[in-house]
Amino acid sequence: MNKTILVTGGTGYIGSHTVVALQEKGYKVIIADNLANSEKEVIYNIEKISHVLPQFEPIDLANEQACEALFNKYSINAVIHFAAYKYVNESVNNPLRYYKNNLISLLNVLNEMKKHNICNIVFSSSCTVYGTPDTLPVTETSPVKKSMSPYGNTKQVAEEILEDNCKADRHLKVISLRYFNPIGAHPSIKIGETAKGIPQNLLPYLTQTVIGKREFLSVFGNDYNTPDGTCIRDYIHVMDLAYAHVCAIERMLHMGSDINYEVFNVGTGKGYSVLEIIQTFEKVTGMKVNFQFKGRREGDIAQIWADTSLANKVLKWEALYALEDMLLSAWKWEKELAKS
Ligand code: UFG
């Protein structure tokens, strides 16, 4: 019988791509999402790709009763927990909102998992837990540094909550995936990134500038200690990131592991500067990016990229898409959005 995966935050950017990747592998998916930063319509776009409409529950997991009702309603084999707020700046201005939403929803989910004997959870973590790394690339054993933002701290604390619960309950299996910078859209261009309001991340802001929704892209800082002075990140195609979740689920459900708390970096292992992103975007799309250098953005680190050898070896996963594919699909998606 097909295994059932609860995907919290499944109408969001990474969540929706992961739902498609799970369905491709034959998993039955239940999405729980409060639509705080996504639209219900995403489930129909998922159906257009996979020909399977995922079950959808429009609930807020920070609401204990709603979370309880969800777990009472379905028989679930594993959970992928994406549902969380994700903006660094917003979290600095409103830390309570972030701690409350991101941590209470995790606690509610874990509590229901325990009550229902559900032992497998994949958690959306972030490379933000490394803070400003001392050496590059970062490996999973690189130190977790004091977080630069309440958002980042919610990820660190969530990892600690999960690890403590694994120590207390040897049946619980947790895989924390530390994401680097996901960009791009599904090759069908039916799902992609749809930030509500003004985008805060580089790619949606860049594509919105090129399509004419924004006047210019601000490049935050050109005086960093990097070859061209702009920040370096490890950009990963969102479908590669989605497949990493499938590999994590397969490891938990089918292969087993003696260790019940595991952490993996999910990036490409390559770093690109903001200027390299702009130049490559211009090359692959033939479009001009109107940008201006501005001061550094608070909380930004100069550079980070991943050592992905652990995920390559243990999860038997690797990133397949090149930067050119990521940028081209992001542009196609922006043009698709402009049609509606
Ligand atoms: N940038 C610009 N202009 C913009 C937006 C971003 O120059 O308009 C720059 C940033 O300064 C940074 C790079 O582009 O150097 C990437 O910025 P993003 O905001 O796209 O991504 P971040 O690396 O800051 O943050 C992302 C996620 C976080 C996650 C973090 C981990 O948004 O959720 O990666 O490093 F925690």
Domain count, the chain: 1
* Cα 233 from Cα 301, distance rounded (Å): 9
Q: Which domain holds residue 127?
A: 4-183+235-268+307-320
**278 CB less than 6 Å from ligand 1?**
no
Q: Which of 147, 119, 86 is nearest to 261 (CA)?
A: 119
Mutate to test the pocket of ligand 1, among 147, 159, 231, 326 (most ligand atoms within 8 A of CB): 231
- CATH number for position 259: 3.40.50.720
- Residue 281 included in any domain: no
- The answer as to whether 339 is a domain residue is no
Q: Please give the pLDDT value at position 1.
A: 64
Q: Which two tokens stand for residue 285?
A: 């799309």
Burial tier of 173 (Cβ tally within 10 Å: 0-12, 13-18, 19+)? buried
Q: Does residue 83's CB lie within 6 angstroms of at least one atom of ligand 1?
A: no
The number of helix segments (H) and strand segments (E) in the chain equals: 12, 13
Of 297, 298, 300, 316, which Cα lies nearest the Cα of 308? 316
Q: Report how far residue 31's alpha carbon sits from residue 332's, in angstroms, rounded to the nearest whole number.
A: 26
Residue 295 within any structural domain of the chain: no
What per-residue confidence (pLDDT) applies to 148? Answer: 82
- pLDDT for res 88: 87
Task: Report which protein residue has its CA nearest ligand 1's atom 12.
Answer: 231
pTM of whole model > 0.95? yes
Residue 204, domain member (yes or no): no
> For residue 302, is it within any domain?
no
Mean pLDDT by 10 residues, the chain (340 residues): 93 98 98 96 98 98 98 98 93 95 98 98 97 96 91 97 97 97 98 90 97 98 98 98 98 88 98 98 98 93 97 97 98 94
Nearest CA to ligand 1 atom 36: 128
Please work out whether the CB of residue 206 comes within 6 Å of at least one atom of ligand 1: no
- Residue 98 located in a structural domain: yes
Residue 196 resides in a domain: no
Residue 316 falls inside a structural domain:
yes
Tell me the DSSP string of 165-220: HHHH-TT-EEEEEEE-EEE---TTSSS----SSS--SHHHHHHHHHHTSSS-EEEE
For residues 100 and 111, the answer to whether their CB atoms sit within 8 Å is no
Contact (Cβ atoms closer than 8 angstroms) between residue 82 and residue 12? yes
Indicate the Cα dihedral angle 25, 26, 32, 34, nearest 10°. Answer: 60
Distance CA 150, CA 62 (A): 18
